[in-house]
Amino acid sequence: MLEYLHVKNLALIDEAEVEFKPGLNILTGETGAGKSILLGSVGLALGGNYNAGMLRTGAASGFVELTFTVEDEEIKKRLSEMDIFPEDGRIVLSRKLMEGRSVSKINGESVSKATLKDVASLLIDIYGQNEHQTLLHKKNHLAFLDLYAGDAVERLKQETARRFHEYTKLERQLSEGAMDERERLKEISLAEFEIQEIEEANLLEDEDEELEQLYRRMSQGKRLSESVEQAHRYTSEEPSGNASECLSRAIRALQDVADIDSEGAALYERLVDVDSLLNDFNRELAQYQKSLEFSEEEFYETENRLNEINHLKAKYGNSVNDILTYCEEKKQRLSKLKDYENYIEELKKKLEQAKAQYEKQALQLRKKRKETAKAFVEEIRQGLVELNFLDVRFEMQFTETAKYTANGMDEAEFYISTNPGEKVRPMKTAVSGGELSRIMLAVKTVLADKEDTPTLIFDEIDTGISGITAGKVADAMHVIGKSRQVLCITHLAQIAAVADAHFLIEKSASKNKTKTQIHILSKEDSVKELARILGGANVTESILESAREMKERIGRV
């Protein structure tokens, strides 16, 4: 849930800090006190559009910070997939706003605005006038239904999507495989030539690496042979005295010492060991010297073979293994081309099977959706009645998509009639702005236990309503507040009265500066604020009593 809000230097807000509570948080205040500014600052922290005109006059920068507590394991999992991890169970979203630019951070680390929005979408939803408009787009109606249906539809959707991708893959293969006879013969000729050229080379796996290593040794062979020969001469072949001969003389010289003195004997033994090591070295050096011997003919053959392989590399791959893989792929393609009619027929057969399997799955999905839609629209209709749509009809009508989709073959749209005798019409042509906000509230109430976003913000939910309808809206807000945290700005006492936590937004002026501040109200102060909403500037004792009765009636005093 949204635990804490900190705003600095935005519009009329010098600096404000708010600690929100679980359940239904209501924000009230006089017109012009800055309620929309406060809610707008939340939107900015979530990645909303910003311009420098939003800054407080004279301020070089503004700042908004939201602190969320995260308890839901599914949300934690989805955050971890974005490499975002709660610290002490909290996620802190912040945004510093400067002239012409802004800096967004999550838990103190800079992120892009897109990442900020993605993370915010898991934690909070804001429903203002623009969000209510989503009800006018029928593409969203099916999404609402699927959310209501839950796992029963989700499993069918996943299987439908799998079948769809199988079908489109085969469809693409068939499209790519289509060619006329002239193209087919031309490709056969080219494939046969390429396969022949590669096979005639008799390539061996990793042959190029071995040849390149051999070629390098041969290229450097003369210099290596001279160095090895010189080393061998100094250790064993130099006529005027080599290391081996000198060691032998030294051993003979020390032999008499070894027979007389123990320390001399130890030195003698060490010298014998050195002589043994030198003999081993000379044998290995001789073998190495022999390995460096090669003929000009062998060098020429190696060079020609490498040139042949490099020619093939330029055409078919970066290594011998790549060339061999290319050759195998061409053989498979050639087989299909030579048996082209059977290949295409087999592909068509597979496509028809995939199409039938997709349609079968999509029809099962449609059946489940239509079954679920009956209960869904009835719950919404009942919710609308409770929101004072006294004679309302509410339906969901299905049509078939123009083409197959991963989401099935269904389009669905809400139809509504709010007046007796009128036929149902698409929602986008049948409701006013004030009605739309209440319909959205009814939908959200029905989906309250289905959605996993822990915090909802409602703005302009009371547009165009009063009296009994306002009370009905209040009841619906109270229901949603039982399952998740709700923040709501309102001008109506009936809605404010059901608050679990009631906040007052006030505007004050001092030293030619105007400030907006917010603070939580005690139970008694909440009654006084309700009385102000009911009576305006002239709050009488009877209005105060009415406000108190309003609170008592819902059991909150």
Residue 351 has pLDDT above 80, yes or no: yes
pLDDT tens string 2-34? 999 999 888 888 888 889 999 999 998 887 666
Better pLDDT: 56 or 395: 395
Average pLDDT over residues 78-92: 91
Q: How high is the mean pLDDT of the chain?
A: 85
266: helix, coil or strand?
Answer: helix
Position of tokens 């897109």?
Answer: 114
pLDDT tens string 465-479? 777 888 888 888 888
pLDDT reported for residue 33:
63
pLDDT reported for residue 146:
93
Average pLDDT over residues 506-515: 74
Q: Which two tokens stand for residue 311?
A: 């020619």
pLDDT reported for residue 107:
92
Q: Which amino acid belongs to residue 164?
A: F
In the beta sheet, which residues pair with residue 65? 6, 94
Q: Which amino acid belongs to residue 163?
A: R
Report the Cα–Cα distance between both ends of the chain, in Å, rounded: 25
Listed in sequence order, the residues at least 6 apart from 74 whose beta carbon sits closer than 8 Å to its beta carbon are: 452
Residue 151 has pLDDT above 50, yes or no: yes
Helix, strand, coil shares of the chain, percent, nearest 5, are 60, 20, 20
Q: How confident is the model at residue 361 (pLDDT cuts 50, 70, 90)?
A: very high
Kind plus residue range of the DSSP H or E element containing 323: helix 320-338
Residue 296 has pLDDT above 80, yes or no: no
pLDDT reported for residue 400:
94
pLDDT reported for residue 391:
87
Q: What domains sit in the chain, N to C, each tagged with a CATH number? A: 1-128+459-472+484-521 (3.40.50.300), 185-338 (no CATH), 522-557 (no CATH)
CB half-sphere exposure, 193, CA atoms < 13 A? 7
**What's 432-497 look like in SS3?**
CHHHHHHHHHHHHHHCCCCCCCCEEEECCCCCCCCHHHHHHHHHHHHHHHHHCEEEEECCCHHHHC
Percent of the chain with pLDDT over 70: 94
- Rounded to an integer, what distance in angstroms lies between the CA atom of residue 112 and that of residue 547? 47
Residue 556 has pLDDT above 50, yes or no: no
Average pLDDT over residues 128-150: 79
Question: For the chain, what is the radius of gyration of the CA atoms?
Answer: 42
Q: Which two tokens stand for residue 208?
A: 């190029």
Listed in sequence order, the residues at least 6 apart from 297 whose beta carbon sits closer than 8 Å to its beta carbon are: none
Q: How do 501-510 and 2-10 pair as beta strands?
A: unpaired
- Rounded to an integer, what distance in angstroms lies between the CA atom of residue 450 and that of residue 130? 22
Q: Which two tokens stand for residue 352?
A: 């028809």
